[in-house]
């Protein structure tokens, strides 16, 4: 994982982007958000404080969703 960077430098996140890397953003209450480099960053509605820091972290591996069940025949 990368070192924590002050959120005032979020505008530089595009220079830190790499394949297989996303960003972990933290606020003053230590709530976490995982995101790509998006400007402006939209924080979750339930965050009471703005972001204060971020760091580059490895992206989680892709995962398959469960199959959609087949429709049932009307009776």
Confirm whether 66 is domain-assigned: no
Residue 1 pLDDT > 80: no
Residue 11 lies in a domain: yes
pLDDT of 75 over the 80 cut: no
For residue 10, is it within any domain?
A: yes
pLDDT in tens, 2-12: 799 999 999 99
Report yes or no on 19 lying in a domain. yes
Q: How many domains does the chain divide into?
A: 1
Does any domain span residue 14? yes
Q: Is residue 63 part of a domain?
A: no
73 belongs to a structural domain: no
pTM of the model: 0.77
Concatenate the DSSP letters of all residues of the chain into one string: -PPPEEGGGGGGHHHH--TTEEEEEEETT--EEEE---SSPPPPTT-SS-EEEEEEEEPPPP-PPPPPPPPPPP-
- What domain range is 15 assigned to? 5-42+51-58
- What is the structure's pLDDT at 61? 86
Task: Find, among 47, 42, 9, the residue nearest to 27 by Cα.
Answer: 47
């Amino acid at each position: 994982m990368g070192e924590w960077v002050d959120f005032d430098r979020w505008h530089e996140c595009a220079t830190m982007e790499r394949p297989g890397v996303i960003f972990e953003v933290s606020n003053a209450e230590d709530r976490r958000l995982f995101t790509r480099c998006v400007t402006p960053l939209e924080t979750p509605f339930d965050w009471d404080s703005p972001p204060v820091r971020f760091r580059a972290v490895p992206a989680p591996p892709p995962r398959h969703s469960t199959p959609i069940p087949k429709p049932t025949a009307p009776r």
